Amino acid sequence: MIDQASLEAATREAHLAPVSAVVERLDQAGERAVLDPDLPLYPASMIKVPIAVAAHARIAAGELTPQSVVSVAQRNMTPNDAPSPLHANYRATLDELIDLMLSRSDNVATNQLIDLLGREAITVHCQAIGLARTAVRRKLSGSLPLIEDPEATGRNAHPASDAAALLTALDARRLPGSERVLASLGRQYWRGKLPLGLRPGDHFAHKTGDTDEVSHDGGILTLPDGRRYVIVLYTGVASPDEDPRFGTWMARVRAALECEE
């Protein structure tokens, strides 16, 4: 049984602090454990999931299509850690931009989508679907100095509680584009955090995020027997792309899940 004590033990064993975490069973109600879920840690690339959801809402409304063509602007160029086809004047489809943003954590795709959708409109949509603490206020940068962003209004916000709520809604297929978003998360390029603690047969559709001050991972875990959990871990620590501390945390949580009926 997963409970707060289990999360606290996992956090101590992994030597991670501060931590904001949510673990909740999705296929059966009543099982949930949290640690400081509203802690206002910078979300880093976790903000890309609500941006994708806002894009799919525009598609569902008929304002855009997956095949809408978008030309990548020079102003949105910033380094990417994963291979990316995007360069200035590259003509991408909307579907391609969304998938690159989620599966590769592509910063250029993200910035182009922020321009296309509008940061205020993204924020309004997020709050309309219940993500009260989520806001898109500036573009993302792959390195210092930060990308020039004259329209920036502050730091982005998307706490672990909102990340878990959004993933839960996606799992329940309550939002337009849920299947496509989850499919992109299931093809995640960055698997050096929580997946290090998984077991054979586990499937984790997830998104990571990190800067030199924070490191996060969160997604939908499906076990071989069909049980499903939303698992989100935000930390206020610097982290390499592959961090065994996240694996230690997940392994401890995963062991607690194995004890359930």
CB-based contact 87:77 (threshold 8 Å): yes
Q: Is 250 helix (H, G, I), strand (E, B) or coil?
A: helix
Residue with tokens 């999931």: 49
Q: Is 157 helix (H, G, I), strand (E, B) or coil?
A: strand
CB-based contact 43:51 (threshold 8 Å): no
CB-based contact 202:224 (threshold 8 Å): yes
CB-based contact 180:165 (threshold 8 Å): no
**Which domains, from first to last, does the chain contain?**
1-41+159-261 (3.40.710.10), 45-158 (3.40.710.10)
> Looking at residue 261, what is its pLDDT?
53
Give Cβ neighbours of residue 172 (< 8 Å, ≥ 6 apart). 26, 178
Q: How many CA atoms lie within 13 A of 72 on its CB side?
A: 22
Interval 199-245: pLDDT, tens: 999 999 999 999 999 999 999 999 999 999 999 999 999 988 899 99
Would the pLDDT of 2 be above 60? yes
Interval 108-161: pLDDT, tens: 999 999 999 999 999 999 999 999 999 999 999 988 889 999 999 999 999 999
Q: Rg for the chain (alpha carbons), in Å?
A: 17
Tokens standing for residue 245: 């501390």
Residue 220 to residue 198: CA distance in whole angstroms:
12
Interval 76-94: pLDDT, tens: 999 998 889 999 999 999 9
> Looking at residue 260, what is its pLDDT?
63
CB-based contact 45:105 (threshold 8 Å): yes
Q: Band the pLDDT of 5: cuts 50, 70, 90.
A: very high
